Amino acid sequence: MTTTPDVLYRPKPFSFSDLFVFEMANNHQGSVEHGLRIIRAMGTIAKARGVRAAVKLQFRHLESFVHPAHLAGSANKHIGRFLATRLTPAQFGALVQETVAQGLVTMCTPFDEPSLDLIDELDIQVIKIGSCSATDWPLLEAVAARHKPVIFSVGGLTLKQIDQLVSFFDHRRVHHAIMHCVSLYPTPPDRLQLNQIELLRRRYPDKVVGFSTHEEPNDLAPVQVAVAKGAGILERHVGIAAEGITLNAYSSTPEQIDRWIGAALAARTICGATTGRVTGGEEEARALTELMRGVYARHSLLPGQRLTRADVYFAMPCAEGQLPAGQWKAGIEVAGGIDRDGPLNTTQLRTPHNSTHQVLYDAIHTIKGMLHEANIRLSTEFRAEFSHHFGVSEFPRVGATIIDCVNREYCKKIVIVMPGQYHPSHFHKRKEETFQVLHGTLDLVVEGRRRTLYPGDTQLVQQGVWHEFWSEAGAIFEEVSTTHHNDDSFYEDKTIARKTREERKTVVNNWGRYQLGETVREERPRAAGGPNAGEPHPMLSGIRCVVLDFDGTLVDSNAIKRDAFFQALAPLGAERSLIEQVLAAEPGDRTAIITAAVAALRKAGRVPGSTDGDQLVRRTVEEYTSRTDDAISRCAAQPDVSWTLPWLASRFPLYLWSDTPESSLQAIVERRGWAQHFRGMVGRPRSKAENLRAILARDQIDPSEVLVVGDTRRDLEAALECGCRFLGVRSDGNNFEPHGVVFIATMGELAGGSAPEKPR
């Protein structure tokens, strides 16, 4: 019998963040009772302010710390002070015990090795290294051996010395934080050098950096500036004045400490969030709208009119729901009439989709921001390559940006993956490459094995190895490889594999400031005809509305849906030949097909007569839908769809119809980012003919002015039943091609382009 081994307990590391440190030093004046009063006062303030705080003591084994010749008397002012305020180990134990009782963190600065033994004996949580001991390597070696959390001050140290300290503690796996400190007592304002906090945070981004203060106690500005600079720990000398006891010029009374903490907390509130862009929400948006100009009609506007700049003007105020001047773009369509000087409300408008080069401009803005945030600098001479495997309009969702640095016998690229962007699965025959993440988090799958890479992590990808990657929040990684060849990427997705390199990439010098728009416009006709390649298809002549089928027409989903029937019906005992017979009969939508299959199974004795047929059909339809919806949301678009959709939408009211349940259809189209192109999206439970008649009634259009584009016999029959014109699209796995029907090979032909020649 095997037993499960005990799981090792991994303690949670000490958190240095948002910690206040009350440095007692020698302000106990050699009196345990006075020290207890200070601790209790600090505990009361910490509780009242709701902060996490520590009381810090100082330990010196005076018999060995001070030279024997100076024990009886010394000209060094500090030695006399230390000797006059000495406490025994038991007395220090009483102070530590009270610190714990007050709910405060225990902390101590040892100045010699024997003091570390007392720290262990009293079970003090955190060791603090003073600036004067930060180069005392015998002591530092002994501190590191204790493996307690360490804070060290860097007053008077050079960057080289600080680098040595950080490396020393990192190498020994000692959890540590860094304190900016100026060892002048008190420190005048012009010597505080609080910008050093930012310098330390940039140089050691994985460390908490704090501020050990020695300024005049009533000066609250330094602590607020320190918070604004990102100080995570704040330390201050504390004490209580009493008869015969006067505090030094850099120690704070309880009242001063309370104000000091209050100022720090106020600064945290003022500074706000430390990650992500934060705005003022709806309240700020309303305030800004009240100051904006709105868009107004320069003259009466007619329903269906597409607007130019000459049709509108901009003026205050901008009412709620009105189109702001900043969102104006030519080509906006008016749904209903608008009187002269009337506001253009967003509910009355249909905004054209962004041009493809605008999609890339928007992406470049995001990419530049990511590079700035990661502090990655590019030379002034580089080539930017935008990989848009499913078209430019899909680039924010599918693709990546590649910066070519060098390509010789060795090759280096910087690859930027925007938030939510996915790069499809592929391999290289000749190139071997290694990825190293510079910024963000990268998810990737290599030969079916998923990994998540963080900054500094690497991944080798050898020749012939399938790999794909994506990032939820965005990532930048470096690719170092053997020589890159333009014909050496082989994609798993057959739609991408059919495309030429020019179809799936836009390449510009630098960021293409004066090049990008022209480059994108020229690539369209090369890739698949494109809207500028020739006259629109003759079938669009006299048309006022276009209705598009979805599966097989816009997305390459016929095989997905067909395979899903086999997968959903197989558990019922349906043989492949039976399912193929049902599909060949084209009984209708998914419910009709599954109903026919269940009936055939019942007739063949595969489904008992006692089985509730309706319930069985419902369950099987649900199984089929769950298999198809997600896959179709992510599958490839048909060739040219990415740019043909916005081209059509800018010229005609566009509707989408399908035998897919309407709610599923709308969700899929939303996820693909196409919803803005369509005036409406309709599906089951209504038939295609019923939905087509509803579109005709809604827009009051003559059927002869409506073009239906589809790839099945049911599409044709519904169009003919309603008196609409029909244009067929050839799709994989569909032999539908009746006599007398005009067909196109790709959607791009609607815009006057010709189908691209397939690579041999």
What values do phi and psi take at 526, rounded to 5?
-65, -35
Quick check: bond before 317 cis, omega within 30? yes
- At residue 514, does pLDDT exceed 60? no
Per-residue pLDDT, 167: 95
CB-count exposure of residue 598 (10 Å: 0-12, 13-18, 19+): buried
Asked if 575 and 668 touch (Cβ cutoff 8 Å), the reply is no
Per-residue pLDDT, 354: 66
pLDDT-derived band at 50, boundaries 50, 70, 90: very high
For a pLDDT cut of 90, what percent of the chain falls above it?
Answer: 53
- At residue 38, does pLDDT exceed 70? yes
- Mean of pLDDT over the chain: 87
What values do phi and psi take at 743, rounded to 5?
-125, 150
Task: Record the tokens describing residue 298, joined without a space.
Answer: 């320069």
Per-residue pLDDT, 582: 73
pLDDT tens digits for 296-339? 999 999 888 889 999 999 999 999 899 999 999 888 989 888 99
Asked if 521 and 528 touch (Cβ cutoff 8 Å), the reply is no
Determine how β-strand 349-350 pairs with β-strand 333-334.
Answer: antiparallel
- At residue 718, does pLDDT exceed 70? yes
Q: Please compute the mean of the pLDDT values over residues 85-96 and round it to a whole number.
A: 93
pLDDT-derived band at 522, boundaries 50, 70, 90: very low
- At residue 438, does pLDDT exceed 80? yes
Strand arrangement of the beta sheet that strand 433-440 belongs to: 458-461, 433-440, 475-482, 410-417, 400-407, 383-387, 505-509
Asked if 453 and 459 touch (Cβ cutoff 8 Å), the reply is yes
Q: Which has the higher per-residue pLDDT, 295 or 277?
A: 295
For a pLDDT cut of 70, what percent of the chain falls above it?
Answer: 92
- At residue 88, does pLDDT exceed 80? yes
pLDDT tens digits for 61-73? 878 888 887 887 8
Asked if 658 and 690 touch (Cβ cutoff 8 Å), the reply is no
- Lowest mean pLDDT of 613-617, 685-689, 702-706, name the range: 613-617
pLDDT-derived band at 4, boundaries 50, 70, 90: very low
Which residues, in sequence order, are CB contacts of 170 under 8 Å at separation 6+? none
- At residue 355, does pLDDT exceed 80? no
Q: How many CB atoms lie within 10 A of CB 167?
A: 10
Task: Record the tokens describing residue 614, joined without a space.
Answer: 């309706």
Vertex 59: Cα angle to 54 and 60 (nearest 5): 165
Q: Please compute the mean of the pLDDT values over residues 131-159 and round it to a whole number.
A: 94
Asked if 298 and 340 touch (Cβ cutoff 8 Å), the reply is yes
- At residue 382, does pLDDT exceed 60? yes
What is the residue type of 101? A
Per-residue pLDDT, 534: 56
DSSP secondary structure string, 171-195? HTT--EEEEEE---SSPPGGG--TH
What is the residue type of 126? V
- At residue 529, does pLDDT exceed 60? no
Q: Which has the higher per-residue pLDDT, 474 or 565?
A: 474
Tell the residue number behind the tokens 């001991």, with chain if given. 133
Determine how β-strand 176-181 pairs with β-strand 150-153.
Answer: parallel
pLDDT-derived band at 757, boundaries 50, 70, 90: very low
Determine how β-strand 449-453 pairs with β-strand 475-482.
Answer: unpaired
CB-count exposure of residue 328 (10 Å: 0-12, 13-18, 19+): middle
Per-residue pLDDT, 532: 38
Q: Please compute the mean of the pLDDT values over residues 159-165 and round it to a whole number.
A: 95
CB-count exposure of residue 713 (10 Å: 0-12, 13-18, 19+): middle
Per-residue pLDDT, 597: 79
